[in-house]
Structure 1
């Protein structure tokens, strides 16, 4: 190859390394094998840079070292800069700094910018920021737009970590404009990922998800590395309590970093797994991941990151009750290294707990004072954590109202989460309220005032927002029919088509879920919890159950009086409850006297624990394990109207809602013996007609127009993906996302379908599923079963129920009388008001 042609080809390979690294690798390799001198050095540099861009770090280091040896002057300095980047990815920060420092005298601002990147990865953020500032000033005086773009992109990430969000977005948007003007598509994708990271740090989840989705699409199209996108998405999902998905993405990121031998990123992914394991209450896994990350950070000389990992080890020990054997001096060093970083707030809280264990009250107070400083600045989650520290501090020192501090923290979180359209985001994000709500409840219990306990029992339920209806979104509206048609096709498929359709269904569910999470809504301010004195219970009794430290407590409100009692251990109640669905399933298949006696004995024991001496209509506010109790089987509930509600506040809102004139609709789905006959019998009672082949649109129209809707169809609760819990209809499933889009819902919904009365319980008392969504959207009464129901028996119960509704009884009264008239135990409950 002629020297001029070789140099031209090497320069083209270098250009490709930035915009299309996958194509640059063979192009650079071809030149490097034939060229000599300057062309060979440039080709090796392009080869190494492209390999680094594609994650092949070991090979990149080899070729970049060769480029340094072959080059001279500016060319060798350029190669040193890129070598430094590859070395820091391998976790060899000291070697990287040596290489870049040798390049600074030749390349000036560009090499200083690269040095800033290395300092950032070492956790030396202040030094990195100063280098970025110096490099930017120099580059703006020149014409090197590519180097300026890199500085802006990298400084934007640093600004986001320092919570200077407006500055971060400005830097990243300017970098994006430069990259687009230069046709650097892969870099546009990387900048989109960084914008996702910045919005994630700010707490703007919909914006962050949109940026990360765009980043994944662009980076995939251009052959770039997706592991950083996976890691950023894991961090974002963890910030809203979606632990399972966060663990999955962090595991994928860790595997990719290992596969690509990007040693610098491996311990960061391990630390992410440790954080996710903590939120999942898997203390063993959290400690294991954190210790592994700690060892690697220490080997890499990254003291600040090592301090973060050591803090997670301490937190895992505290959470599990294991001894914390770290010396006070090491704990103080950890505090020094974490100073000014978001992780410092949680570390200070943990160290305060360690000091409490060690009977060092002064140290505990000092750590709490440090943690409480976060309450005035930063994203919502950090400020709320600062108010939690302030509440603990006030509780320890008696220096102010601890409950007022808890309320401030909860309000910050609730206002931040109020605009989430996706109900799974709102429900799972409630996990970050847990410590605050629990602290408020403990303080209230210590006060001995039942009214305070009632307030904090309600605040812990977080069901106080007005419903958020998703905006009309064409993309979401187009995806739902595709989901239905695919599910319908799958139900009749066989052979190889099954796997193809299952894959298509999973992909559609992913698209629907992601799109829903990116939508924004406008919700009103969080409502205040209802006061016991405001509850118009009449002759009813309201019983609200609370879990505290493994014990179950019950608050009762009746005749204007409020009382508090201990029920027993959660474990013993849960053990009894496990027997009930077992007995009901057996009785549904074949009535047996011994099983019936077993059920009655179990129900009597539960009754004595949960509802002693109760002889009046009930409003039950369950918690945890009590959400799926078929209350009608308990002796105290037999023949009496019983309403189950997720919170007293929600019950009060529904009970005081102005009623609409009663209009009825009855519809049925396919494949359920007797469903059509049941719907037609119900329709005959109310002098209406029932369509024989009801579609999703038929049901949605009925839900939007009738005040009482009866649905007889196969139901499915999806415990792993509750927003895809469904009712089977003739053109496919009706899912939660369909219900969420309704502008108006009925007052009463009756679902004569197995299992859809149950909800998935997350974050303590947050509910997800069809039943929960109907209530969230404003349905006042929902009648459904919390256990599987035999099809043949449902028709008889539903006819008895509707005859009583036609006679003017309320849904709860009609259900109670219908159940008693059949004298056969079943799992139907009335939820709402």
Structure 2
């Protein structure tokens, strides 16, 4: 090769390193080998090689090649290599060395080097200096018409704007950068900008928009062989914002490993800090402290004071939560270092107020709370809600009524922000962020000694997503096309189980879950909880259970009188409850006297602890583990109508619905001994046709048209992924997503299926699963089992139940009388009204 062509090839390798770094690496390596006599070409090829390696995560090797490029280059060429070297050093965690290199490049390269310096200053947490540089660089690039430089600078400035909560400005910068990258043919960069848009929308609190951007980013970056670790990190942070702890932990762990594999040491502690935040949300204080301390040590070595302050604040929070001694040598310095992170600043003031309270320094606690409370007036919903939490704490001692008003406002801010979430799991898990406000309101209410206040705050702290009126995800063609594919795959898997089919099923479930989370609900915000005086109980007694600090309380409303009493410890009740499903399962298979005695003594003990001595019909509002109680097994409930409801407010809404004509439909699924015979018996009672080999479409049509629907099929509760809890039908499973998309649902649904009446309880007493989704969509009464039932053991119960329904009995009474007629305890309950 002649020198001219070699230099031209080196320039082409440099261009390729930007647009397709994977292809650039072997090209640059070949040019280095072939450019023995051309120092300029070799220096440029080394620069292209090092830059491509850095882009693909091979940072240590990148530093080696870029240092060679600096030594070989002269003038502007060496300065260009210094800029790339600074980029690589930053991602090695050597920010101070990176700053030295880029400062040497500024006199020769001007705006471009100054833009690189701004990036490094941003990583060091020196946000004001970085923003000043970005502004100057933007003006310079616009004057010179340098579109590439302008595009890069806009991306970096947009990220900084998001850190400052200037979200509209951030989105504007990133969208302009995306347009310029498209014009320049920088397809990989378009994907990276989409990832940054996801980060910004996540910080702003628009979860569906953020997920859509991150999905697009993952697709584009993956297609072009780029680094997916930042997408994993942003997705983990976003999932944490809506309380999806397990998924966030998984993505953060993957990000840690990916950053390590790519040699990007700068980013590893950031992902470790996300793991600490996830552990805090999961109440795993030991893991939170461990991850936060590891991140702190790495940030300190990297000289990143801003990020070290974030880690130090997380270490403090983990110690506070676990009850360990809290050592903080320079609280004011920590707060100052957190500048530019409003959420972190507010939380740090709240934590420091708690430390001051521990140390009996009330004036200092008030000072911290006063600063934190100022956040209630602006910023994302999560930050404003924390500000209202601080305000409620400030008002707590002097004016409890005003403190409760502040806590109500904070809850309203969160609920209005989450009202647009279109899928049940996001709405349920997002309630994790309501927990502190709801718990504070409950504590204040208990301190007032007014049972009505306690009742209100117990309602505010449970099943808030059921209080949203007419929440329904919109019709979505892609989701509608994926559900039949899942059914077909599941049906094929039952007949011919193979690892390939199982993998296909998991992939379809992942795509359905991700797609559903992009949708926005079209309903209004939440309704206010019902007051005790508004409940139309008639001759019923309502028992509302409340969990606080490991204790279980019961609020009982009867004849207009509201009483509050202590039941006992949650652990004691939980230990007793563990015995009940065990005993019911064994009695159903092979009755033995010792098992019957175990059940009877346990049920009698639970009855004495939980329920008032009253023969009237019951409305039970459970909490936590009490959602799994088979109430008919308790002595005082036998033969007595018992209705279970996630909240008194939901019970009142369902009970006051105008009655619908009692039209009946019935369907059965495959593989369940006695299901078809049971369905035929039910159909004969009501003189209706029974569909043979009922498909999901058959059942969905029945659910959308009939007043009462009986389903005899295999049920599967999926605790790890409740949105794929299902009923098995002849063409595959009917899943939660199918029910969520119904325009209209029956007044009454009876599921003679194993275990599907039991919900998955997540933070905030929110419920997920098939039964919970029926209630959310508006079913007034749902009869199902909260424990496994024998496949062939339900026919007699269902026949007795339906005879009474045919004769006009309400579902709760019909179930109670049918259970009394058969004489054997079982796990069926009536949920709703």
Which TM class, normalised by the smaller chain length? over 0.9
Q: Equivalents in 2 of 1:635, 1:614: separation in Å?
A: 12
Where does residue 676 of structure 1 map in the other structure?
676
Q: Equivalents in 2 of 1:139, 1:742: separation in Å?
A: 54
Where does residue 767 of structure 2 map in the other structure?
767
Q: Equivalents in 2 of 1:468, 1:179: separation in Å?
A: 39
SS at match of 1:790: coil
SS at match of 2:567: strand
Where does residue 15 of structure 2 map in the other structure?
15
- In the TM superposition, what are the counterparts of 1:67-466 in structure 2 within 5 Å? 67-327=69-329, 330-341=330-341, 342-398=343-399, 401-461=402-462, 462=464, 463-466=466-469
Q: Equivalents in 2 of 1:517, 1:269: separation in Å?
A: 23
How much has 1:400 moved relative to structure 2? Answer: 7.6
SS at match of 2:727: strand
Q: What's the CA shift string for 1:408-451, capped at 9, x where partnerless? A: 10000000001111100000000000000000000000000001
2:473–2:522 CA contact under 8 A, matched in 1: no
How much has 1:304 moved relative to structure 2? Answer: 1.1
Where does residue 623 of structure 2 map in the other structure?
623
Where does residue 594 of structure 1 map in the other structure?
594
Where does residue 5 of structure 1 map in the other structure?
5
- In the TM superposition, what are the counterparts of 1:746-757 in structure 2 within 5 Å? 746-757=746-757
Q: What's the CA shift string for 1:247-302, capped at 9, x where partnerless? A: 00000000011111111101111111111111111111111110011111111111
How much has 1:635 moved relative to structure 2? Answer: 1.1
Q: Equivalents in 1 of 2:236, 2:450: separation in Å?
A: 42
Q: What's the CA shift string for 1:542-592, capped at 9, x where partnerless? A: 000000111100011111111111111111111111110010011010111
How much has 1:671 moved relative to structure 2? Answer: 0.3
Q: Equivalents in 2 of 1:348, 1:523: separation in Å?
A: 36
The answer as to 2:747 corresponding to 1:744 is: no
Q: Equivalents in 2 of 1:640, 1:253: separation in Å?
A: 55
1:623–1:764 CA contact under 8 A, matched in 2: no
SS at match of 1:693: coil
Q: What's the CA shift string for 1:123-146, capped at 9, x where partnerless? A: 111111000001001111012110
Q: Equivalents in 1 of 2:360, 2:46: separation in Å?
A: 62
Q: Tell me how many residue pairs correspond in the alignment.
A: 828
Q: Equivalents in 2 of 1:398, 1:100: separation in Å?
A: 57
Where does residue 506 of structure 1 map in the other structure?
506
Where does residue 472 of structure 2 map in the other structure?
469
Q: Equivalents in 2 of 1:144, 1:524: separation in Å?
A: 48
Specify which of 65, 68, 76 is matched with residue 66 of structure 1. 68
Specify which of 52, 64, 67 is matched with residue 54 of structure 2. 52
1:665–1:683 CA contact under 8 A, matched in 2: yes
How much has 1:396 moved relative to structure 2? Answer: 4.2
How much has 1:511 moved relative to structure 2? Answer: 0.3
1:47–1:60 CA contact under 8 A, matched in 2: yes
1:621–1:648 CA contact under 8 A, matched in 2: yes
Q: Equivalents in 2 of 1:202, 1:400: separation in Å?
A: 31
Specify which of 471, 478, 482 is matched with residue 485 of structure 2. 482
How much has 1:110 moved relative to structure 2? Answer: 0.6
After the TM superposition, which segments of 4 or more aligned residues of structure 1 sit over 3 Å from their partners?
396-400
SS at match of 1:791: coil
Normalising by structure 2, we get a TM-score of 0.99
Q: What's the CA shift string for 1:89-138, capped at 9, x where partnerless? A: 11111110111001111110110000000001111111110000010011
How much has 1:332 moved relative to structure 2? Answer: 2.2
Structure 2: runs of 5 or more not aligned: none
How much has 1:67 moved relative to structure 2? Answer: 0.7
2:25–2:52 CA contact under 8 A, matched in 1: yes
SS at match of 2:120: helix
Deviation larger for 705-714 or 589-598: 589-598
Q: What's the CA shift string for 1:197-222, capped at 9, x where partnerless? A: 00000000000000000000000010
Normalising by structure 1, we get a TM-score of 0.99
How much has 1:326 moved relative to structure 2? Answer: 2.6
Where does residue 706 of structure 2 map in the other structure?
706
Q: Equivalents in 2 of 1:333, 1:96: separation in Å?
A: 25
Q: What's the CA shift string for 1:338-393, capped at 9, x where partnerless? A: 13423111111111001111111111111111111111111100110111011111
2:127–2:340 CA contact under 8 A, matched in 1: no
SS at match of 1:755: coil
How much has 1:492 moved relative to structure 2? Answer: 1.3
How much has 1:829 moved relative to structure 2? Answer: 0.1
How much has 1:534 moved relative to structure 2? Answer: 1.0
2:151–2:176 CA contact under 8 A, matched in 1: yes
Q: Equivalents in 2 of 1:75, 1:646: separation in Å?
A: 69
Q: Equivalents in 2 of 1:469, 1:522: separation in Å?
A: 6
Q: Equivalents in 1 of 2:525, 2:320: separation in Å?
A: 36
1:384–1:410 CA contact under 8 A, matched in 2: yes
Q: Equivalents in 2 of 1:28, 1:336: separation in Å?
A: 45
1:624–1:764 CA contact under 8 A, matched in 2: no
How much has 1:467 moved relative to structure 2? Answer: 3.6
2:400–2:444 CA contact under 8 A, matched in 1: no
1:781–1:811 CA contact under 8 A, matched in 2: yes
How much has 1:464 moved relative to structure 2? Answer: 1.5
The answer as to 2:792 corresponding to 1:792 is: yes
Q: Equivalents in 1 of 2:640, 2:105: separation in Å?
A: 84
How much has 1:521 moved relative to structure 2? Answer: 1.6
How much has 1:398 moved relative to structure 2? Answer: 4.2
